[in-house]
Structure 1
């Protein structure tokens, strides 16, 4: 998203009650891209790349597509409009199909991203008369707004800055072609958004070829027109090869059936309980994955960090928990994800720091250190500014993956885990709990229940892994953490505290007695510990009280809409805009379902009658994030947050809740909780999907 786009959005939404002005929202539309590049197709047909974190190339910053009678003037272009169209995925694939109502009849748009190429096919065969397709595509090579040039190659255009060269080609050529110049300063600072594309002017001179925007008129032959875009690095791809590739893509996929066949090869069959949710989760997690297997947390909707710290990075907490959930689900449903697991394990080995820990966040495209604020382990004297739970989460995955690793890779995994054990031990205090550090939500420091849970699970997984010289030490540490968890018990509330905190990081402090959805991780951690140690009766009683109380206290069912679910923690004021209370989070809601299911499974193994009531809680919370549930959007995505009146907000789709949902379905299927849940869902009053807000007005 470039500055002029952010300013235009700011002008539209500066007084909006739930939208944060200047952001690049993805709560409408759908994404395509299962092998690197990530392209958003909004409901009005506009394309925009969210590819930089995954492939290191910026690509399309803005676009607009429309139709007009053959040979007509610019003023007769009917731009596609979200209010008059419908959008869907083609089956379980990442082929996006959008139908548009136009003054000339219904037009269908097909969009598919294949590697570094994105193809848009527009079918006008059902309209009256002959139409041309108009495509306005704005590139931002190397993330630049300026110092950009264009080269014309007949049926293709090259837009470049320095390293990045982007290409646009048409299967039917271009009837006309022009550059799209910037407006002047008065337009940028004026009250009204600038139009896009701008009206044709005679005073542009060379500006049209010194910008990243191209306006092309594509003749529709035999009822359709197709254009393709390609992103390249000039050091890796020559101009001749790039032109051959983009032209070949436009020609090869110049009909819908060719795109459908290509899309079908990208996915496998999914069956079993909640197959629609499982397929959607796999698609989302694939969309957010780069070629190395590292994932972004979500699409980077706030590139100027006005309201957040950015989302287009790999956090080892999110990524490794996703990896573990995928591994567990693959073992249950035989999803054929062995290559995914191997890529994740290899990337974690390559990004581990010398002290055995992992940094705050890295770039998915190459695993190098990315901007962050929790790199205390890399800074002198800055250990508190470190998120120890991230290292714990990676260890849990790698220890579980070890049993599946190839023989020639197993030794490397063991070596990584041995170094990681030393890194965890270095941040474990003498009392058996992790030392003061940052929390999972990245908004506070202290000694958190969630961090203790990740250490308990990681040490337990290491103890169960059977690594000579490591597992014995890990078991002793797991026992220490298990005993120390009770230091956080709050008897008056029947929960484990959010954290212990105080002015002195090395001394005992006060308990923060608020409910925190992250502390629900204690349920899965104790289930892991039960494989190597004894979870006593008192601890089970406290866990039941903790999970039941936290899910009840954090549950929010606002009267003004049909949405319901768990908030992040008591008193959470982040991104509430004009709302006077905490927002509902899909991560927290899915976490509640997973925690209830995990504890139900632990109790079920012991024949404890309380298992069923917790299974009922898991079914209820899972229902909110399943397709058709109150928090699942009509495009199948789970946004990070939802306002009380139903508007989704923040990163969409967010990978973490999709993986949590997938793992919860697998766990509930294993313990036969699904069938009863389906019956309960049928009795529940139908819920509508949350409002996605009115589509943006045309520029």
Structure 2
């Protein structure tokens, strides 16, 4: 998002009660993605690229479409807000918000618009090609003959931002395409009979500084003769044939892909997608199509979860946390990076779900492992965050292990999460697998990195927390270390030479967790402060204790006292964080007591989907731990897990249309922040698998995936 656009949004939303000005929101609409292209399709048909972290190319800053009617019907309502009369007497109709859905298990987005001249159906699909990352749009009248009788054409207004530029941008006008470029990145707009109407330079200082938002239309922004060739904005039209119009965009590297190959690619795409079946075939064959075997409970949710995690993935396998809705870091620290906490936890959850449901994710697991091997630092740890497209170090604030001196600005739990995943994956690989030896070496180095962060009392030293907003000796960090040491120990000495050492570390850490118990709250503290006192607030990150103890149970004994404390902790934390505001139907868990982030004047902690899903997972993990001990309390925790999982389920109040889980919700039900957020989707999928193992869905009929049209 360019600064001009951010300032324009600020003018529109500076006084809005639930919108943070200057952001590009994705809480409504659907995404299509493939090969590093990540496209947001808004309900009104607007399109924006969010794929820079995945591909290194910026693409579309904005795209709009409208219908031009050369022969308007006599009964057309010119007072309709969707209709405006052009200077030449033609009608321009801008479709309002439509109904959106995905085609089967793919990322083909279908949007149905009702317009003053009839129904229009639009398909959008991101496509990976040899020339670069493409996107195709197919627009069709429900009544094909209507398009001819109206003499209709499709108007497209696109603003490209090659390499993130909104100035010093050039255009080349080819016979069926427009090429927009700055340096290496070259972006193409093509249609079968493309007619370029105009363009325009970016808004000048007067428009940027004016108190009112800037409106960009189809006309040029000034009278300079060269402006149509020196800006990223293109307005063009293309006709309907048999009621169908098609447009394609393509993002390329001008050094790696020659111009003729790019033009041929977009030409072929717009010809192919005129046939809706060819478009659907492209979607089904695409790398973002997902398959869920029959018999998986909550099949629709599983499809949504895998689709989201695929959309957020770079070709390397590493994932962004979510679409980067706040690229100027005005109200957040950015989301378009790979955090090893989120990513490794997601990888672990996928490992669980794959083992339970046979999802065929072996390639996903191996790509994740390769990415972690390639990004491990010499001291065995992993940095704060990296660019998912290439693993290069990304801007961050928690890289103390790479800087001179010693401080707490390091998130030790991230290394623990990676080590735990690698150990669990190694346990699944044959010993003669070439990747197994490399993983074992990374685990060996990772153990050294973890041990360097363990204090004399066997718990991790002070560092940053999971939410990246505080320092201290956190229970969540200790839980992740316990899970990591336990996973390595579970490999056994024959498979990994330091397994016994890891088991000893796990046992000592297990015992030391008693130091964090807060009796009057019936829960473990969120952290030990610098002065040695305990911070007794409830924090959803402490749900990590549940799966950590299940991991420890595979190599050691979880005694009765600790089981009782886990039962009490999960119960008390869920009750303490549960929030059911009167103003809406939303309900769920807040992140932690006293969380003031992104409240926008609400005056109460906001509900988080990751916290709610994590609570469901923790309850299921405790249920499994109790079941293994023949403890009758297991059934109650299964029920509690199902109740929380329903809140983030397909029909739950925390799931928005399209099956996406936003990060947060306001009390009035407005979704906010990164949407979709990958982490809760992975937790939801793994929790479903665990509950299924516990027999939680035996009494439920689950809806199947909708059949193809």
TM normalised by structure 2 equals 0.93
The correspondence for 2:276, drawn from 242, 252, 256, is 256
Distance 1:373 1:168 in 2: 39
The correspondence for 2:158, drawn from 132, 137, 152, is 137
Distance 1:642 1:201 in 2: 39
Shift of 1:107: 1.0
Shift of 1:360: 0.2
Distance 1:80 1:602 in 2: 57
The correspondence for 2:684, drawn from 661, 676, 681, is 661
Distance 2:226 2:280 in 1: 41
Matches within 5 A, 1:53-452: 53-70=53-70, 74=86, 76=90, 78-83=92-97, 85-115=98-128, 116-124=133-141, 126=143, 127=146, 129-170=150-191, 172-197=192-217, 199-200=219-220, 203-266=223-286, 267-270=289-292, 271=294, 272-405=296-429, 407-452=433-478
The correspondence for 1:635, drawn from 658, 666, 688, is 658
Establish whether residue 487 from structure 1 lines up as the match of residue 515 from structure 2: yes
1:446-468 CA deviation, whole Å, 9 max, x = no partner? 00000000000000000012333
Task: Name the residue aligned to 1:511.
Answer: 534
What is the DSSP-based 3-state SS (H/G/I as helix, E as strand, rest coil) of the residue aligned with 2:635? helix
What is the DSSP-based 3-state SS (H/G/I as helix, E as strand, rest coil) of the residue aligned with 1:260? helix
Distance 1:82 1:471 in 2: 61
The correspondence for 1:472, drawn from 500, 505, 515, is 500
Point out the more displaced range, 114-123 or 184-193.
Answer: 184-193
Shift of 1:204: 3.4
Task: Name the residue aligned to 1:43.
Answer: 43
Point out the more displaced range, 591-600 or 104-113.
Answer: 104-113
Point out the more displaced range, 68-77 or 475-484.
Answer: 68-77
Distance 2:136 2:235 in 1: 17
What is the DSSP-based 3-state SS (H/G/I as helix, E as strand, rest coil) of the residue aligned with 1:20? coil
Matches within 5 A, 1:562-573: 562-573=585-596
1:79-111 CA deviation, whole Å, 9 max, x = no partner? 54444x211111221100111122221111110
Counterpart contact for 2:158–2:234, Cα < 8 Å: yes
Distance 1:163 1:180 in 2: 21
Distance 2:423 2:386 in 1: 22
Counterpart contact for 1:392–1:455, Cα < 8 Å: yes
1:139-172 CA deviation, whole Å, 9 max, x = no partner? 10011111000001110111000111111111x2
Distance 1:81 1:348 in 2: 45
What is the DSSP-based 3-state SS (H/G/I as helix, E as strand, rest coil) of the residue aligned with 1:675? coil
Distance 1:109 1:396 in 2: 44
The correspondence for 2:561, drawn from 538, 560, 566, is 538
Counterpart contact for 1:576–1:583, Cα < 8 Å: yes
Shift of 1:258: 1.2
Distance 2:384 2:66 in 1: 43
Matches within 5 A, 1:618-697: 618-676=641-699, 678=700
1:253-305 CA deviation, whole Å, 9 max, x = no partner? 22222111111223343232000000000000000000000000000000000
- In structure 2, relative to structure 1, the CA distance for the partners of 1:71 and 1:368 (3 Å cut) is farther
Task: Name the residue aligned to 2:24.
Answer: 24
Counterpart contact for 1:454–1:521, Cα < 8 Å: yes
Distance 1:4 1:578 in 2: 26
Distance 2:96 2:334 in 1: 27
What is the DSSP-based 3-state SS (H/G/I as helix, E as strand, rest coil) of the residue aligned with 2:349? helix
Counterpart contact for 2:424–2:487, Cα < 8 Å: yes
Distance 2:627 2:365 in 1: 29
TM normalised by structure 1 equals 0.94
What is the DSSP-based 3-state SS (H/G/I as helix, E as strand, rest coil) of the residue aligned with 2:150? coil
The correspondence for 1:598, drawn from 589, 604, 621, is 621
1:164-187 CA deviation, whole Å, 9 max, x = no partner? 1111111x2223432233233222
Task: Name the residue aligned to 2:80.
Answer: none
Shift of 1:6: 1.2
Point out the more displaced range, 604-613 or 1-10.
Answer: 1-10
Shift of 1:74: 4.6
What is the DSSP-based 3-state SS (H/G/I as helix, E as strand, rest coil) of the residue aligned with 1:485? helix
1:292-341 CA deviation, whole Å, 9 max, x = no partner? 00000000000000000000000000001001111110111111111111
Counterpart contact for 2:106–2:307, Cα < 8 Å: yes
Number of matched pairs: 673
Distance 1:100 1:293 in 2: 35
Counterpart contact for 2:198–2:218, Cα < 8 Å: no
Runs of 4+ with deviation above 6 angstroms: none
Shift of 1:55: 0.4
Task: Name the residue aligned to 1:585.
Answer: 608
